[in-house]
Amino acid sequence: MLRIAVPNKGSLSEPASAMLHEAGYRQRKDRKELVLVDAENEVEFFFLRPRDIAVYVGSGRLDIGITGRDLLLDSGSQAEEIMQLGFAGSTFRYATRPGTARDVSEFGGMTVATSFAGLVTKHLADSGVDAAVVHLDGAVETAIQLGVAEVIADVVETGTTLRNAGLEIIGEPILESEAVVIRRTGDPSDDPKVQQFLRRMQGVLVARRYVMMDYDIRVEQVERAVALTPGLESPTVSPLHHEGWVAVRSMVPAKDAQRIMDELYDLGARAILTTGIHACRL
Ligand SMILES: Nc1ncnc2c1ncn2[C@@H]1O[C@H](COP(=O)(O)OP(=O)(O)OP(=O)(O)O)[C@@H](O)[C@H]1O
Ligand SMILES: O=P(O)(O)OC[C@H]1O[C@H](OP(=O)(O)OP(=O)(O)O)[C@H](O)[C@@H]1O
Ligand SMILES: [Mg+2]
């Protein structure tokens, strides 16, 4: 059985379970369930606090896990990223009240409040800045107002929380984060069970990002049309009964589909159809 750690709470939890469900795995119906065996797929899921996942995987107790890159790096565990999952995207940044500092280099002697003390301590040391770090569990934006720190370091998605607290971002992002699959550092990369899991997850990503496009076009225009729809490998081109015409089938990025349909139409393509992809193995 492949033993997989899944976030049980927070921003990572629901999208992780949704993705696993789309990949054909059983998921828990009750949020209080801590362990779930999916016998058919020979997988056992452990629903754990997002912060603890890298610890379990890094110690080798669980084979792989889903967590955030920021949590992985903060934990200092012996675990590494093996796949990006494209959700829970955020940046990790410093912020202060306006006028406090223009750059990280000016944080010397100040206190930085954060829930990611490992990450921040390392970043300050790497930047050669001597600042104190105070660890808080959450809602760190309020720490400045309450006089616990002059600087905070926190997850920023839209920036709304920072704005509402009257804070401004300082310096470049410490890190760009998203949900990732992790394994213990140095574990063999060719474990067939892990490989199968990753192929399934990859299939979900592709099914979410691409649509299938079909169209008919005159033979003389095929090369120009195919340049617009190169597909992942190469488009399928089949003869039509109507002489001088061919049918083309190709995967295109969902976000570009409408623009590509317009451009194909202008090239003379007709019967242009897009259909969703439910699952795939590349
Ligand atoms: N607003 C957000 N947008 C995108 N990702 C986020 C956001 N907040 C947290 N994350 C990501 O979620 C992970 C943190 O998960 P965790 O469950 O510890 O915190 P949380 O989502 O803030 O939940 P909680 O309600 O427990 O504070 C990190 O990888 C972080 O980058
Ligand atoms: O840039 P934004 O879109 O505003 O999102 C970022 C905020 O979301 C998370 O907070 P959460 O609501 O999880 O509270 P927490 O601080 O207690 O973790 C994170 O810690 C930031 O505070
Ligand atoms: Mg939070």
Q: State whether 147 and 172 are in the same domain.
A: yes
Q: State whether 157 and 118 are in the same domain.
A: yes
> 132: which strand partners?
111
Instruction: State pLDDT tens for residues 88-126.
Output: 999 999 999 999 999 999 999 999 999 999 999 999 999
C-beta of 42 in contact with ligand 1 (< 6 A): no
The residue to which tokens 């399928």 are assigned = 236
CB contact at 8 A, 5 and 48: yes
The residue to which tokens 């393509």 are assigned = 269
For position 94, which CATH number holds?
Answer: 3.40.190.10
Q: State whether 19 and 150 are in the same domain.
A: no
pLDDT for the residue numbered 184: 98
Question: What is the amino acid identity at position 52?
Answer: D
- Rounded CA-CA distance 52/12 in Å is 13
- Write phi, then psi, for 273 (nearest 5 degrees): -125, 140
For position 267, which CATH number holds?
Answer: 3.30.70.120
Q: State whether 8 and 81 are in the same domain.
A: yes
Q: State whether 7 and 117 are in the same domain.
A: no
Whether 153 is covered by a domain: the verdict is: yes
Instruction: State pLDDT tens for residues 46-93.
Output: 999 999 999 999 999 999 999 999 999 999 999 999 999 999 999 999
Q: State whether 145 and 42 are in the same domain.
A: no
Ligand 2 atom having least distance to the Cα of 164: 4
Q: State whether 108 and 68 are in the same domain.
A: no
Closest CA to 88 of 9, 183, 15, 169: 15
Instruction: State pLDDT tens for residues 193-250.
Output: 999 999 999 999 999 999 999 999 999 999 999 999 999 889 999 999 999 999 999 9
Whether 100 is covered by a domain: the verdict is: yes
Residue 17's pLDDT band (cuts 50, 70, 90): very high
pLDDT for the residue numbered 282: 83
Q: State whether 63 and 100 are in the same domain.
A: no
> Could you give the C-alpha distances from 165 to 21, 100, 105, 139, in angstroms and in order?
37, 15, 23, 10
Q: Rounded mean pLDDT of the chain?
A: 96
> Could you give the C-alpha distances from 192 to 72, 81, 117, 183, 237, in angstroms and in order?
24, 17, 36, 14, 34
DSSP string, 214-234: EEEEEGGGHHHHHHH---SS-
Domain count, the chain: 3
DSSP string, 244-256: TEEEEEEEEEGGG
Ligand 1 centre distance from Cα of residue 12 (Å): 7
Give the closest residue (by CA) to ligand 1 atom 4. 88
CB contact at 8 A, 50 and 182: no
Instruction: State pLDDT tens for residues 241-278.
Output: 999 999 999 999 999 999 999 999 999 999 999 999 99
C-beta of 213 in contact with ligand 2 (< 6 A): no
256: Cα within 13 Å, side-chain hemisphere: 14
Please give the DSSP secondary-structure letter assigned to residue 267.
H
Parent domain of 270: 210-276
DSSP string, 14-74: HHHHHHHHHTT----SSTT--EEEETTTTEEEEEE-HHHHHHHHHTTSSSEEEEEHHHHHH
Q: Model-level pTM?
A: 0.93
C-beta of 139 in contact with ligand 2 (< 6 A): yes
Quick one: 3 exposed, middle or buried, by C-beta within 10 A (0-12, 13-18, 19+)? middle
Residue 189's pLDDT band (cuts 50, 70, 90): confident
